[in-house]
Amino acid sequence: MARVKRGTTVKQKHNKILARAKGYLGRHHSTYRAAREKTEKAGQYAYRDRRVKKREFRGLWIVRINAAVRSNGLTYSQFMNGLKKAGVNLDRKVLAQMAYDNDSNFVKLVDTAKRFIAGEK
């Protein structure tokens, strides 16, 4: 059986990792071993934080909605309860965008929520 020389494949593998580590500080961008460790950890952080990002944005939306609703005389939980009773199925992302843009329709939604909290329709 013929001897297999792996120099080119190893070099390609190393270059692939070093390309991913471009921009890292110190020896982490130039030595294969350190670059491999850093890129593996970076991948773990990226995987985890794709999920964390969703949580953080939901929290931001809630803060924005709460701030806009409080200026209209309700709390966030009362507002969401009123919208649920009214059958309004807008998600928090849309509500936060409306609140952020000072949309006149948002004030109408707050008024609708107030009516349904009071028991009117």
The fold of the 7-118 domain, in CATH, is: c-terminal domain of poly(a) binding protein (1.10.1900)
**pLDDT tens-place string over residues 1-43:** 888 888 898 999 999 999 999 999 999 999 999 999 999 999 9
Alpha-carbon distance of 61 to 53, in angstroms, equals 12
* Measured CA distances, 54 to 23, 51, 57, 77 (Å): 27, 6, 5, 20
Nearest to 78 by CA among 32, 115, 106, 105: 115
**pLDDT tens-place string over residues 88-117:** 999 999 999 999 998 889 999 999 999 998
Domain ranges for the chain: 7-118
* Prediction pTM value: 0.77
C-beta neighbour count of 68 within 10 angstroms: 24
